[in-house]
Amino acid sequence: MKETYLQQFLSDSARKAKRSEIRELLKLIARPDVISLAGGLPAPETFPVDHLAEMLPRVLKEHGASALQYGPTEGDKGLVAELAKLMADDGLPDLGPDRILVTSASQQGLDLCGRVFLAPGDTLICGLPSYLGALGAFSACGASLSGIPLDDEGMQPDLLEARLVNLRCEGVRPKMIYLVPDFQNPAGVTLSLSRREDILSIAREFDLLVLEDSPYRQLRYTGETVPSMKSLDRDGRVISLFTFSKILFPGLRLGWVVAEPEVISRLVMAKQPVDLCTSSLSQLVAREFLKSGMLTEQIALTRELYTMKRRVLLDALDREFDPAWGVTWTKPEGGLFLWLKLPESLDAADLLQMALKKDVAFVTGSAFHCDGSGRNTARLNFSFPSPEQIQEGVRRIAMSVGRLIAERPATGKKTISKDKPKFASAESGHPLDQLAWNLTLTELVE
């Protein structure tokens, strides 16, 4: 079939989709000699392979064919009950089964929320930067994304309120605020308690839903736990997403949504035509991990490993980066990522080109900005690479930064390279071009 003939059958979204030339980059970073700080893969050494090898035969023996059968869209009742206990330990007691929906990881939760609440032309508020998988899900619904800058305490409530006032003056009424409050992907920052309360107050004032994405909440390495947005919610406007991908293993493909019964009911209806139900076998495995207490042990071991790797990354940056360069970075209290900010005069895409020649990769920051800004930023991951790879990767990136600064000294003005990286799409624009490049880096992260 010829492409010209196929065009007449395509949907609008399919016609707009582009194949990225970044596929060539995949071949490069797939080589074993390339150090990748790009993705958000959990460390394989945290996967409970031995426990799973012992558990699976037992699950199949105890549950028989039901483990391999279709199940209810809402999720396995036993798993939902265990999730309610897990949520009670995090400040959400007395969650009935009508307030929890099991999903195929939290990415499906994002997709379902987009399907249920966002029509083409609707406006959603997100952070600058924001998780690119969420940007992709919301953009696919035809939503307009309005970004609010983050600082070291997360989204800035004063800027949020000012934006909402301006939008209202323009006749635009956003529907939802999207947040990753804990150890945000990609910036690594945590929304402070006072800001959580302020944002909920603003959401109440402007009558907005709040979508709280919490894939890393249990992975705190330093500092005090901050109450979740849902636990602070007094009028049922917060929808919270969780996943087992970072605290157990991503191949399980399980997540869950916590929301009011009316919201859960709508999400169930949206989920039914998408996948009918989530894997029964995966749910029984997760249920067993929760009932046995092994998940608690798993999280503790993961925290210990990531605490060490985080320290290695921060120490390497302190050691390798000259303070005179003006490069800054966040110091995340948990999660998987650190956010690097170059001087305004530099472009992270140029730095990536240099780094790739030294066999090290990271993700450029503009992909995480719904307005295409952030070209002088980058995300570094510390969960997947070994400590030795982290140190050597940072050393090579620092060498590239030093060279880039020497070649392009700061002029007081931001100068963006007009030459696109060889792996970029032929057209610029938001991030959905960049989305392909980040997905190709393995490495879509929840």
Q: Report the candidate in 386, 383, 219 with the shortest Cα–Cα distance to residue 300.
A: 219
* 3-class secondary-structure state, position 372: coil
Judged against a pLDDT cut of 60, whether residue 275 lies above it is answered with yes
Which one has a higher pLDDT value, 7 or 410? 7
29 confidence band (pLDDT: 50, 70, 90) = low
d(CA 140, CA 122): 12
Judged against a pLDDT cut of 60, whether residue 19 lies above it is answered with no
Q: Report the candidate in 291, 315, 299 with the shortest Cα–Cα distance to residue 382.
A: 315
Q: What is the pTM of this model?
A: 0.90
Judged against a pLDDT cut of 90, whether residue 23 lies above it is answered with no
Please say whether the beta carbons of 253 and 104 come within 8 A: yes
> 71-98 burial, b for 16+ CB within 10 Å, e for fewer?
bebbbbebbbbbbbebbeebebeebeee
Residue 18: what pLDDT?
54
d(CA 126, CA 168): 17
Residue 27: what pLDDT?
57
Residue 367: what pLDDT?
87
Please say whether the beta carbons of 415 and 408 come within 8 A: yes
Residue 31: what pLDDT?
75
Residue 176: what pLDDT?
97
Domain layout of the chain by residue ranges: 11-47+297-440, 69-292
Is domain 11-47+297-440 annotated with CATH 3.90.1150.10?
A: yes
The hierarchical CATH code for the domain 69-292 is: 3.40.640.10
User: Residue 321 to residues 189, 331, 408, 434: CA-CA distances in angstroms?
Assistant: 21, 15, 17, 27
101 confidence band (pLDDT: 50, 70, 90) = very high
Give the chain's mean pLDDT: 90
424 confidence band (pLDDT: 50, 70, 90) = very low
Judged against a pLDDT cut of 90, whether residue 276 lies above it is answered with yes
DSSP code of 147? E
Judged against a pLDDT cut of 50, whether residue 421 lies above it is answered with no
Q: Per residue in 223-234, pLDDT tens?
A: 999 999 999 999
DSSP code of 149? E
Q: Provide the CB-side half-sphere exposure for 188 (13 A, CA).
A: 25
Judged against a pLDDT cut of 60, whether residue 423 lies above it is answered with no
Q: What angle (nearest 5°) sits at the alpha carbon of residue 405, between those of residues 404 and 406?
A: 90
Residues β-bridged to residue 209: 176
Judged against a pLDDT cut of 60, whether residue 440 lies above it is answered with no
The residue assigned the tokens 């060279």 is 403
24 confidence band (pLDDT: 50, 70, 90) = very low
Pick from 23-27, 115-119, 138-142, 438-442: least confident: 438-442
167 confidence band (pLDDT: 50, 70, 90) = very high
Residues β-bridged to residue 102: 256
Judged against a pLDDT cut of 60, whether residue 436 lies above it is answered with no
